Amino acid sequence: MSATRRLFLALWPDTALRAAMVERTERARLVREFGGRRVPAHNLHLTLVFLGNVAAERVDALIDEVGQSTPPGPFTLRLDRFGTFPPARVAWLGAAPVPAALALVEMLIGVACRQGLRIDARSWRPHVTLVRGIDARPSGLLPALDEPIDWAVRDFALIESIPGRPYQVLRTWPVE
C-alpha cells in the first residue's frame, strides 16, 4: 500500500494577518459565545482547494504542474464577516469571493483534476476557520465584525496536514 499525504492548497497569512485574525476572534468572544476551541494561530489559513490524501509519489508531479500554471495575478480579499458551519461545528471569518480569487481556485481545481484527484464539487466559500467544536446549534447571534481585515494576496501555498502537528508549508507560488 502506498503512503499518502493529506494536502490542500491555501492562502497562508503572514504574522501580522494572523495576529489581526486572533485579535478579532478574541474581541468577538467567539469561544465564549459558542464554545469550542480556537484554531492555533500558526494553523490559520484560507483553503483554496482541499486535495485530501495524495499518494506520496504523486506530490512532485502536482508541485510541477502547479508551478507551470499561470495564476490570475494579485488580489485583495476583505475578511468582513463572521459565520458558522453548524454541521461541521466551526466558526469562521469570511470574505466575498472576488473574480481573481475565483479564477485562482478554478485554475487549481483544473490542476488537481488533471492529476487525477477527486475534488469536492461544492462552491468555494472563502473563509478562515477560527474556532472548532462549537455548539452544534449555537443559540447566540453572530457578532458583527467591527473592523474588517484587508488581505493583499501575493502568493498561495501547498500545505500538508499531519495530525497533532502544525501545518507544514511544502511550497509557495506567487500570484503575480
Instruction: Name the residues annotated as catalytic.
Output: 45, 127
CA-closest candidate to residue 129, choices 19, 5, 21: 21
**Continuous segment of H or E residues that includes residue 158:** strand 155-160
| Cell numbers given for 68 | 507551470
Residues 105 and 10 sit within 8 Å (Cβ to Cβ): no
Residues 131 and 31 sit within 8 Å (Cβ to Cβ): yes
Q: What is the signed CA dihedral for 113, 43, 134, 150, rounded to 10 degrees?
A: -80
CA–CA dist 56, 4 (Å, integer): 5
